[in-house]
Amino acid sequence: MRVFLDTNVLLSGFLGTGLCAQLMHRLMESERDVLIGEPVAREFVRIATEKFKVPAPTLSYALEVLRRQQMVAGATALLDDIPDPDDVPILACALAAQSDLFVTGDKALLELARVKGLPLLSPRDAWMRLFGAG
């Protein structure tokens, strides 16, 4: 199973203690492939630095953890009906990597449910699908 994590899930996972943190931790310990796209990594750094003012040592640690996952090069794809054009390169990356799931907290993306056959799931729905209620 190849699971692609969106930027908002990664930020919540690293900066929070809730479901996204638990999901990331469990995924990284499991046999599943955790996919991190280059566009996601760039956006992660930008938002963590500009919006959340994450200190350099914490950001370095987070990037070290991300680099241990399967990094996926940026890609392009013709994607119609994506509400935010900034999401297109991220979704293109997930599609090019042949992801089985795309996990996001972005409500506009979740409303789409699928993009070119790729299921878009909330962190809670991904948890339920991957690990069940336990």
**pLDDT tens, position by position, 54-67:** 999 999 999 999 99
- Quick one: what percent of the chain has pLDDT higher than 90? 91
Domain boundaries, the chain: 2-131
Residue 113 burial (C-beta neighbours within 10 Å; 0-12, 13-18, 19+): exposed
Rounded to two decimals, the pTM is: 0.94
Q: What Cα–Cα distance (Å) separates residue 50 from each residue in 36, 59, 98, 127?
A: 20, 12, 31, 29
Q: What Cα–Cα distance (Å) separates residue 65 from each residue in 3, 25, 69?
A: 16, 11, 7
Assign 122 to helix, strand or coil: coil
Asked whether 97 and 72 are in contact (CB, 8 A), the reply is: yes
89 has pLDDT over 70: yes
Q: How confident is the model at residue 74 (pLDDT cuts 50, 70, 90)?
A: confident
DSSP 8-state secondary structure symbol assigned to residue 3: E
Q: How confident is the model at residue 134 (pLDDT cuts 50, 70, 90)?
A: low
User: Helices in the chain by DSSP H: which ranges?
Assistant: 7-15, 19-29, 38-50, 56-67, 88-96, 107-112, 123-131
State the CATH class of domain 2-131. Answer: alpha beta
Digit-coded pLDDT (tens) for 8-60 = 999 999 999 999 999 999 999 999 999 999 999 999 999 999 999 999 999 99
- Going by their DSSP bridges, the two strands 70-72 and 101-103 should be labelled as unpaired
